[in-house]
Amino acid sequence: MKVNGTHYRSIWFDHDLSEVRIIDQRWLPHRFEVVSLTTLDAFATAIRDMWVRGAPLIGATAAYGMAIEMARDASDAAMNHAWDKLHTTRPTAINLKWALDRCRAALLPLPVDERAGAALQLAHEIADEDVEINRNIGLNGLEIIRQIAARKPAGEPVRLLTHCNAGWPATVDWGTATSPMYHAFEEGIPIHVWVDETRPRNQGAMTSWELGSHGISHSYITDNAGGHLMQQGMVDMVITGTDRTTATGDVCNKIGTYLKALAARDNGVPFYVALPSPTIDWTVRDGVAEIPIEDRPEREVTFALGKLTDGTIGEVQVAPDGSPGGNPAFDVTPARLVTGLITERGVAEASEAGLAKMFPDLKGRAQ
């Protein structure tokens, strides 16, 4: 998407530098910084410490990390070591394993001297596929927004609520939950987006930054305001991303998503999830019981990172000295609370049958 008039993907290969470039999201929205990742360790650090984040982007980054390692050492041992090192960076988003497995399956059968080139080409393909998947999720989500708009007086905005950042910084481009918003905006459908701040990493600030950069009307609200807004009839639909969706339609997403889904159900507000097919884990049926929930550092909760009054970026301690923090980074929304899964192929029912019907060619695939 565009930043100050310049189009960016969140990750790309700079052919002049012959380096992989990323937007270092640790400093967004206050500082826009592009850095290169040139070693396997740098890729692992970037994923683990959320220089890059978001399920689809984590997968694409892992693929480029594999490619950079193959350029250094394309042996089986190096490939397996890279797989292990990258896979252990973050446990919840299934796109990480999906991308690494896809790379290893494609590269292992190749002669060693062909692997580096093939790995880079595959990373490009995974990135390009993500862009097209997300563009199509946007078109399928646009239809829902159109239907809501048609039921409103002319000019009255469709009011969407979203949680965390499932926007273009969480993917290679377009975003997943934000893609329908961009398509609606381009079509001239008036929308307003309630953006949950999403403690503790405040990815909602990123969503507000990207929507604001695109001229989309939005409000940056506290995490706890969403239920009240729904109760007051101020939300027409909720749309979030997902880090792992089970074969039965349970949705694992940023912590707090489950609470929004409960409030949406209680207030008759449709709750949609933007779901790229690589984010489906066909091997898991019970999300609450089976999906590993990342436990992140306490400091992310006991301190807050932001722009200080002198304009620099820094931390302030929000918790009292000595108070331990708890920081589960995701939760699971059971399929029964999900109105529909907006995929690149269409809107699927949040059920085993619904996903099997939408993806008959993928169901049962070992993740």
Ligand X SMILES: CSC[C@H]1O[C@H](OP(=O)(O)O)[C@H](O)[C@@H]1O
DSSP class of residue 328 equals B
Peptide bond into 153 cis (omega under 30): no
Give the CA distances from residue 54 to residues 60, 88, 93, 191, in Å, rounded to whole numbers and listed in that order: 10, 16, 8, 24
Minimum Å distance from CB 50 to ligand X? Answer: 6
Q: Does 56 bind ligand X (CB under 6 A)?
A: yes
Q: Among 10, 61, 171, 207, which residue interacts with ligand X (rule: CB under 6 A)?
A: 171
Instruction: Please tell me whether 226 is known to bind a ligand.
Output: no
Q: Does 347 bind ligand X (CB under 6 A)?
A: no
- Residue 153: how many other CB atoms lie within 10 Å: 5
According to the binding rule CB under 6 A, does residue 55 interact with ligand X?
yes
Specify the DSSP element, H or E, that contains 107: helix 95-107
10: contact with ligand X by CB under 6 A: no
The residue from 9, 53, 97, 192 that contacts ligand X (CB under 6 A) is: 53
Distance CA 228, CA 224 (A): 8
Q: Which is nearer to ligand X, 115 or 163 (CB)?
A: 163
Taking CB under 6 A as the binding criterion, the range among 27-35, 150-158, 162-170, 339-347 that sits at the site for ligand X is 162-170
What is the full DSSP assignment across 151-197? TS-TTPPEEEEE-S--SGGGSSSS-SSSHHHHHHHHHT--EEEEEE-
Residue 53 among known ligand-binding residues: yes
* Angle of helix 76-87 versus helix 40-48 axis, rounded to 10: 20
Instruction: Quote the least distance from Cβ 86 to ligand X, whole Å.
Output: 15
121 annotated to a ligand binding site: no
Mark the segment that binds ligand X (CB under 6 A) among 8-16, 104-112, 139-147, 163-171: 163-171
Q: Which of residues 191-250 bind ligand X (CB under 6 A)?
A: 203, 240-241, 243
Q: Is 243 a catalytic residue?
A: yes
* CA pair distance 87, 359, nearest whole angstrom: 26
Q: Which residues bind ligand X (CB under 6 A)?
A: 53-56, 164, 166, 170-171, 176, 203, 240-241, 243, 253-254, 329
